[in-house]
Each structure stands twice: as structure tokens, then as C-alpha cells.
Amino acid sequence: MLTHLNAQGEATMVDVTDKAVSERSARAESEVSMSPEAFRLLIQGQNKKGDVLATARIAGIQAAKRTAELIPLCHPLALTKVQVDFELDAARNCVKVFSFCRLAGRTGVEMEALTAASVASLTIYDMCKAVDPAITIRHTCLAEKRGGKLGHWQRPDGMEKSEALAQLEEHW
């Protein structure tokens, strides 16, 4: 059953009033591949637009906090934690993007985690596109969620967690 449709098949925001407040978290990931030259400039901090990863981290965090403004039927959420991390894969000239969101609430934070990873990836593209307009963003997906009706769910084929996000799991 699709929860965002009413009896007439019209789009509707799900009513979560009667749901219990519980701790919920989600982790998402994405991958940004680029040319060896663009990757070299990124890792050496020589990109003309500035610090690519610092800017992408802030953009991802900001995006998670504004997800309800971007995705029409999402609830505005009071996030208690948003983290965006990166791993550099020099063998493949790519940046792996990892996001994590958490709150105590009545609805999950999957969309916030996915939005954080997506916008961080788009920011990397934006800052590096002058060197390589063929940058590719792929494998954006929900990697893991906790809380709610389904409890704990983890994507079986997800990328390895960043070290910082793995350390966060100790607190889950």
C-alpha cells in the first residue's frame, strides 16, 4: 500500500500524530567519479573554487536540515545529528560520500540522509566541473536505517562505512 496516496489516489502527507516517538537514524551513501586531473586538484587542495570537501560537507548538512522544503510530502524534522564524511579512492579517482542523520521522532530520517549524500555529491560536481564536466555521480542509496516499524534494515550490497560513521554506530 502506498502511504502517500489517499482513498481517491491523490497525493497526501502521511499523518504521524499517533505514532510513538522513538530514536531513528539512517545512513546513505553516494559515489562521485572524476578524471585523474580533477581528483588530483581536489586531494591537493588546489581547486580554484576552494576546499571542495569542506564545502560539500556543509552543503550536505544544510540540505538534510531542509529536506522538507525540497521533497513535497516530507515532514519537517528536528534533526539531532547530521554527519557527512568522505573517503578518497585514488585507485578509482572517486570520492565516496557517507551521510548519517538521527533524531527522536515519529517518522524516519531516510530522506534526510539521502538528501545529504545527494547534495554533497552535487556540490563536489559543481566545484570540480570546470576541470571535468564528465564527472559521474552514482550509487546513491540508503545504506541502513534504524527505528520505526521495520526496526533495523541494512542494504546487503552497500559500500563500506566511513571510519567516522562506523564509530557513530557504537552510540546507536
pLDDT tens digits along 53-94: 999 999 999 999 999 999 988 889 999 999 999 999 999 999
126 is catalytic: yes
> pLDDT grade, residue 171 (50/70/90)?
very low
Q: Which domains does the chain have, with CATH numbers?
A: 22-171 (3.30.70.640)
Euclidean distance between the first and the last CA atom of the chain, given in angstroms as a whole number: 30
Mean pLDDT of 44-54: 92
pLDDT reported for residue 172: 44
Put simply, whether the predicted model's pTM sits higher than 0.75 gets the answer yes
Q: What is the DSSP letter of 107?
A: S
Strand order, beta sheet including 94-105: 81-89, 94-105, 22-33, 136-146, 153-154
Q: b or e along 49-63 (b: 16 or more beta carbons within 10 Å of the residue's beta carbon)?
A: eeebbebbbebbbbb
Question: Which residue in 18, 51, 126, 157 is the catalytic one?
Answer: 126
| pLDDT score for 166 | 62
Helical (H) or strand (E) element with 95: strand 94-105
Q: Residue 145: which H helix or E strand, with range?
A: strand 136-146
